[in-house]
A and B are shown apart, each in its own frame.
Chain A
Amino acid sequence: MRREPPQTFGDYSPLLFPAAMLTIFFVVPFGTMIAVSFFQRQQGGFYTPAFVFDNYERFLSAFFGGVLGFSLMMAIAVAICCVVLALPFTYLLTRMARRVQIVWLVALLSILSLSEVIIGFAWSTLFSRTAGITNILVALGLMSEAKALTPSFAAVLTGMVYQAFPYTVLVLFPALVRLDPTLTEAARTLGASPPKAFFTVVVPALRNTIVATLIMVFIFALGSYLLPQLLGRPQHWTLSVLITDQAIYQSNMPFAAAMAVFLVLVTLGLVALTVIAGRKGEAA
């Protein structure tokens, strides 16, 4: 069946509502933020409209550059950990009985209902010296004495992976369910052991899904600002933490806005690079 493209203004009217919502709740606030990032800060006050690059200049220092680099590195690490853990997990999950799948998915969804605060405090208890998991290891005779595992980079990473893992599984699940199970069976009849079949057939066949999931988790992790403060030292704080600090505690809106704009630009750049790299790989 052939359909004609929309002709008159009236044909486009169903788009008006989403377009309006997008403008009011996304374009306007984001535009405001971009504008504020060029404003002049009033010491001890708020800000005055201007067009200066001071805020961006201040950002181009070793300290903020380091924080930006750390934030990106942390988000990439979370994305990779999540996909590496979630891909085999979800693959095995899709091969299980329907009832088992539902139990697991409900459990994962229930993690989504936890707030970041609860996740942060739960992990900081689990990683503590007095009540943490090291006490179990001591009881099992695997460690000589209990010790605190937080604050540390590993603790931040664990908390963030835990938080992002359900999303990762939910994004991968439909693609893995649709994947023809005879593909791996075919690989096995052709001489591939089950792990080899997974890496030579399932992973390459799901390339695009995996790249999309990496990007999603990366962006999700980039916005995290509570867990680094609860589970990490100040050097593990992400750019989001600094933005909050500048905006709320230092009342430096223009600088906070400049950092936010910069973060968005860098993120878009990285995503674009990933997509382009993915396209190239496909053409080759």
Chain B
Amino acid sequence: MSGLALQNVVKEFGAFKAVNDVDLTVPHGTFVCMLGPSGCGKTTLLRMIAGLDLPTSGAIRLDGEDITRVPTHKRNLGMVFQSLALFPHLTVGENIAYSLRIRGAPKEDQKKRVEELLSMIHLSGYADRPVSKLSGGQRQRVAIARALAISPKLFLLDEPLSALDAKLREAMQVELRQLQQKLGITTIVVTHDQREAMTMADTVVVMSGGEIRQAASPIEIYRRPADSFVADFIGQTNLIEVESDTRNHVTVLGQPVPGLQLPPGAAKATISIRPEDVHLTAPGAGALTGTVTFVRDLGGTIETFVEAGDRQIVAVSTPRERPEVSVGQQVGIALTPDVCVVLRK
């Protein structure tokens, strides 16, 4: 099979299991984002793919070939580090040409390739500058160009955009995605920024505690989170415990929601409702009734905090559909089965 495959990969540091039995298949040419809070094992996983750390057990295959014990410098990959790790003693051009020089490529070929890459990252004419004279965004591009110089089979990036300011980061996300699509290169990015993952990835891999919680397309992760961790980690959500009686009539905070079904045999479950799916109605008209405790008007969106029973429910609406509510007012909350995602226990 062409692409990258991780099979039962485990990494232990002493008694601590940083990566616990991870299975993942990355088809050739896909863009994967590994997403999770710090310490979830995503960077360790990336370092094992790069060969900088060795797995305690399990196998890593690239295009069907077992590369688990192949040393880093023989893997023909490109990697961008969080610190970028540009060589301070070399110029921009020499940095980009490093992998070609190490492989003994002829000088003219190196020069030609450097020029190609510089024009690709919109930095033509920068070859002779020292890297210390570049701005953050430019350094970022040089690090990307350096990693891509040998046209690697695998492109790995460890929190590549974390050093940039918010505006530049968003622009680089789009640029990185476009570049990846143009080159068709298998790419794995580690990030803790869910917006970044949603922007760039074909597949988002959500990790926590060294395990993969869910691996799916961004929209599926958002629409159909597998469990409460994923639902809570990706975007904002309302997590509500629900109960089902013997006839499978489900009640939310004591109120029946007709049409909502739990998996057979489950008496209790947690459901996730995205704030934009929560519709406020006149009191008594919705399934639930609550009191508005706070309104956060952000201009583009309005967040309304409603206390219903002992739960706080957040509703997000646009100014156009702005509900006429104020703090202390009683409102109804409409719940339809299609917006409630029943989460795995």
Interface residues of A, Cβ cutoff 8 Å to B? 180, 182-183, 185-194, 196-197, 200-201, 204-205, 207
In B40-99, the 8 Å CB interface with A consists of: 50-52, 71-79, 81-83, 85, 87-90, 98-99
Q: Is the pair B85, A191 in contact by a Cβ cutoff of 8 Å?
A: no
Residue on B nearest A196 in the bound complex, by CB = B102
Choice from A188, A191, A192, A207 contacting B52 with Cβ under 8 Å: A188
Distance A12 CA – B78 CA, assembled complex (angstroms): 55
Interchain CB contact under 8 A, A189 and B72 = yes
CB closest residue in chain B, given A207: B89
B76 touches A182 (CB 8 A): no
Smallest CB-CB separation from A193: which chain B residue? B73
Whether A189 touches B50, Cβ cut-off 8 Å, given contacts A196-B102, A207-B89, is: yes
The answer to the question of B150 belonging to the interface, with a C-beta cut-off of 8 Å to chain A, is yes
Are A200 and B83 interface neighbours, CB within 8 A?
no
Seen from chain B, the residues whose Cβ lies within 8 Å of a Cβ on chain A are 50-52, 71-79, 81-83, 85, 87-90, 98-99, 102-103, 146-147, 149-150, 156
Please report the C-alpha to C-alpha distance between residue A192 and residue B99 in the assembled complex, in whole angstroms: 8
Give Cα A189–Cα B98 distance, bound, in whole angstroms: 11
The 3 residue pairs across chains A and B that have the minimum distance between CB atoms = A186-B85, A190-B99, A189-B79
In the complex, A159 Cα to B51 Cα: how many Å? 42
Q: Is the CB of A192 within 8 A of B88?
A: no
Task: Please determine whether A180 and B71 come into contact, CB atoms closer than 8 angstroms.
Answer: no
Q: A188–B87 contact, CB under 8 A?
A: no
What chain A residues lie within 8 Å of B74 (beta carbons)?
191
- Docked Cα-Cα span, A188 to B73, in Å, equals 5
A191: which of B76, B89, B90 is its contact (CB, 8 Å)? B76
A182, B81: Cβ atoms closer than 8 Å? yes
Chain B residues with Cβ under 8 A from A201's Cβ?
Answer: 87
Do A205 and B81 form a contact, CB below 8 Å, given A190-B146, A196-B102?
no
Q: Which residue from chain A places its CB closest to the CB of B81 in the assembled complex?
A: A182
A191, B81: Cβ atoms closer than 8 Å: no
Q: List 5 A-B contacts (CB under 8 A).
A: A188-B72, A190-B99, A191-B73, A191-B150, A197-B73
Q: Give chain B's interface secondary structure class.
A: loop
| Across-interface contacts of A205 in B (CB, < 8 A) | 87-89
Q: What A residues does B150 contact at CB under 8 A?
A: 190-191
CB neighbours (8 Å) of A185 from chain B are: 52, 72, 81, 85
Contact in complex: A183, B99 (CB < 8 Å)? no
Nearest to A179 among chain B residues (CB) is B88
Docked Cα-Cα span, A186 to B74, in Å, equals 13
* Of the residues B72, B76, B77, B87, contact of A183 by C-beta under 8 Å: B87
- B153 → A minimal CB distance (Å): 12
Pick from A180, A194, A204: contact of B83, CB below 8 A: A180
Residues of B within 8 A of A204 (CB): 87, 89-90
B-side contacts of A182, CB under 8 Å: 81-83, 85
- The reply to whether A187 and B98 contact each other, CB–CB distance below 8 Å, is yes
**C-alpha gap A183/B82 in the complex (Å):** 11
Which residues of the other chain, A, contact B51 by a CB distance below 8 angstroms?
188
Once the chains are docked, how many angstroms separate the CA of A125 from the CA of B85?
Answer: 49
Q: Are B87 and A191 in contact (CB under 8 A)?
A: no
- Least distance between B75 CB and chain A CB atoms (Å): 8
Say yes or no: B102 contacts A186, CB within 8 Å: no
Which chain A positions have C-beta within 8 A of B156? 189
Known: A189-B78, A190-B99. A183 touches B73 (CB 8 A): no
The answer to whether A192 and B81 have CB atoms under 8 Å apart is: no
Q: How far is the CB of B342 from chain A (nearest CB, A)?
A: 43
A200 near B52 with CB under 8 A, answer no
> By CB atoms of chain B within 10 A, which of A188, A193, A197 has the most?
A188
A6 smallest CB distance to B (angstroms): 31
A16 to chain B, nearest CB (A): 39
Chain A residues, CB < 8 A from B76: 191
A185 to B85, CA, bound (A): 9
Q: Are A191 and B83 in contact (CB under 8 A)?
A: no
* Cβ–Cβ contact B102 & A192, under 8 A: yes
Decide yes or no: A191 and B99 within 8 Å by CB, A180-B83, A186-B79 being known contacts.
yes
Chain B CB count within 10 A is highest, among A186, A194, A200, A207, for A186
| Smallest beta-carbon distance A108→chain B, Å | 28
CB pair B102–A200 under 8 Å, yes or no, is yes
A204 to B, closest residue via Cβ: B89
Q: Closest Cβ of chain A: how far from B37's Cβ, in Å? A: 22
Are the C-beta atoms of A191 and B79 separated by less than 8 Å?
no
A172 to B200, CA, bound (A): 43
